[in-house]
Amino acid sequence: MTSGIPAEDWIAHHARFAPSSEAAHDLASGRRFTYAEMDRRVSCAALWLSDAFAVQPGDRIAVLSMNDTDVFELQFACRRLGAIFLPLNWRLAVPELEFICKDATPVVLVHGDEFTDAALQVAKLASVPHTANLANGKPSAYETGLAKASGTLAPPALDLADTWTVMYTSGTTGRPKGARITYQMCVFNSVHCAMTVGLTASTRNLVFLPTFHTGGLNVYANPTFHTGGCNVVLRSFDPGRFLALMTDKELGLTDLLGVPTNFLMLAQEPGFAAADLSHIRSMGVGGAASPLSLLETFGRKGIALRQGWGMTETGPMGLFLSADKAMAKIGSSGLPPMYVRLKICDPDGDPVRQGETGELMIKGPNVTPGYWNRPEANRTSFTADGWFHTGDAARQDEDGYYYIVDRWKDMFISGGENVYPVEVENVIYQLDGVLENAVVGVPHEKWGEIGRAFVVLKPGANLDEGAVIEHCGTQLARFKVPKEVRFLDELPHNATGKVLKHQLPRT
Ligand code: ADP
C-alpha cells in the first residue's frame, strides 16, 4: 500500500532552509554539527554504505551503539538509500542479538568500539556478511568511510508508507518482535510532538534514553530533527550528570523526556532541591506509570512533569497531558493528539461505559502496519477493522481524560478480585522512605494470587514489612494489600530504565 505522499528527507530539507542552524551536539566527543554539516555526513555515510557493502533499497542496516550523533546519521543515511534502520539494544546478550539478526537479516552490523566482541560473535552466528566499527568521532571504519566517500547519490523515491526502521520490542510472547516503523508514523508522531510539547526550531532536546528504544529515538529526538531543532546527545543516563546538564545555562536545554525512574533518581540528587530548572520548557515523562508522589514532588518545585503514553508500535505518542492540566488531572496520561483515535473495549471487543476499565485500542496514521516476519502476531494484534490491541488496561474520566491503569498482563486476581499493581505501588510510594517499589502477583493456595511488594529504600530510611502492610491497609481494600514485602538494594531495570517485573522472584 502507498500513501501517494513522498517521504521527505528531513536533514536535506533543513540544510536548504537553515544550513547554519545547529542540528546535533555530541556531548561525549564535544562534536557539534549544523544542518549543512550533518547533511554532508549523512550523504557520505550513505555513499560509504553503498560502496563498501553494496546496500540496496530495503536492506537492513544494524547499528549497535550507545547514544552518539553517528547513530542519527546512520538512520538518515538509511533514508537516503531506501534502506531500513535496525537499532540494536546493547544491553542484550549475544544469543538475543543473534535471534534478532537472524530474524531481520541485516547486510551490515555497524557497532560502537566497546561492542566489538559481541558484534563479531553475533555477525558470525547470524551470518551477517559485514561489520564495521564507529568510535564516537575517533578513528574508525565509519570515519574512514565517510572521509573517503566520493561521488553523488540519487536517493530513491520513497513513499510515506515505506518502512524506515525496524525496532524490536519485548512484546508479550517473550521473543522480541520487530515493529515496522514507517515514515508516515514518524511524520505524524513529529507533528503530534510539535503540537503538544511545543517543539520548534529553537528546541534543544537532551537525548539520554537509549536511541535503540522508541523513547530515545522517536520522542523527542526525531521530532526535534523534523522541526529543525537541535538534539544534544548524552551517551547514557547518569543522574548526577543529568542534573548538571539541566542546570547548565550555556548548554541551554529546552526540552527532555524520561521514564519515571530517571526522575525518581534525579529527585534524590543532593543539588535537586536548589536547582533552577526554570529555563526548561518541557519535561516529559512516559513509558511506564509515574508514581503520583513523583509528579507531586516536581509539582511542588513548580515543574509540571508532562505525562505521555505510547508504544513502539504507535509512533509512539498516543496520549499527552498538557502542562496546564498536569496537576488538575494528576495521574492521567491526557488526551489523544490530533490524528490518534482511541477506544476502550471489554474482552468481547465492545466499548466499555465511560469510567469502566477495559483494553485500550488505537488506530491512526501513527500506528505500525505490523511486525517484521510475524504473520501470527499481525493477525492477533489487530482487529478486522484495523484497531491495534495495546495490551494496556485504561479508563476515561468524566472529562474524557485517559488513565493507564496497568498492563493487562501485570494485573493479578486475589480472592476473585482484580488487582492492578500500579494502584498499590502508588500507595507504597506515599511512604517517605521509599525510593522505588514494584508489586507483582504470586501464586497462593487460598487466594489464588496475592500481592508481593518489592521495595527499595532511600539511604538511611527505616521501614519494615509491617509498616508497609499497615500503611497499605489504611488506604486500600483488603484484597489489594500486599501480603508480603521484600526489601531489595535495587529493582531490575531495562536499558530504558523501566522496571523488569518478570525478573522479580515469584517463589
Ligand atoms: P516495552 O514493552 O519493551 O517496554 P514499549 O516502550 O513500546 O516497549 O512499551 C510500551 C508500554 O509502556 C505501553 O504498552 C505501556 O504498558 C507502558 N507505558 C507507556 N507509557 C505509559 C504511561 N504513561 N503510563 C503507564 N504505562 C505506560
pLDDT tens by residue, 47-86 = 999 999 999 999 999 999 999 999 999 999 999 999 999 9
How many A from CA of 308 to the centre of ligand 1? 10
Phi, psi of 250 (to 5 degrees): -65, -40
The alpha-carbon radius of gyration of the chain (Å, integer) is 23
What are the tens digits of pLDDT across the range 61-71? 999 999 999 99
Q: Per the structure block, which three cell numbers stand in for 256? A: 527532555
Pocket of ligand 1 (CB under 6 A): 169-170, 214, 286-289, 307, 309-312, 333, 390-392, 404, 407, 498
What are the tens digits of pLDDT across the range 214-252? 999 999 999 999 999 999 999 999 999 999 999 999 999
Per CATH, domain 413-503 is 3.30.300.30: yes
How many A from CA of 391 to the centre of ligand 1? 10
Is residue 361 within 8 A of residue 342, CB to CB? The reply is: yes
Q: Of all protein residues, whose CA lies closest to atom 16 belonging to ligand 1? A: 407
Q: Of all protein residues, whose CA lies closest to atom 5 belonging to ligand 1? A: 311
Which residue intervals of the chain bear CATH 3.30.300.30? 413-503
How many A from CA of 37 to the centre of ligand 1? 35
CA end-to-end span of the chain, whole Å? 49
Work out the mean pLDDT of the chain and round it to a whole number: 95
Q: Which residues, at least 6 apart from 366, have a Cβ–Cβ distance to it below 8 Å?
A: 184, 185, 188, 189, 192, 314, 315, 317, 318, 339, 340
How many A from CA of 291 to the centre of ligand 1? 14
Which residue intervals of the chain bear CATH 3.40.50.980? 28-158
Of ligand 1's listed atoms, the one at least distance from the Cα of 391 is 14
pLDDT at residue 466 above 80?
yes
Fold of 28-158: Rossmann fold (3.40.50)
How many A from CA of 56 to the centre of ligand 1? 34
d(CA 269, CA 273): 8
- The alpha carbon of 326 is separated from its chain's Cα centroid by a whole number of angstroms, namely 21
Of ligand 1's listed atoms, the one at least distance from the Cα of 215 is 6
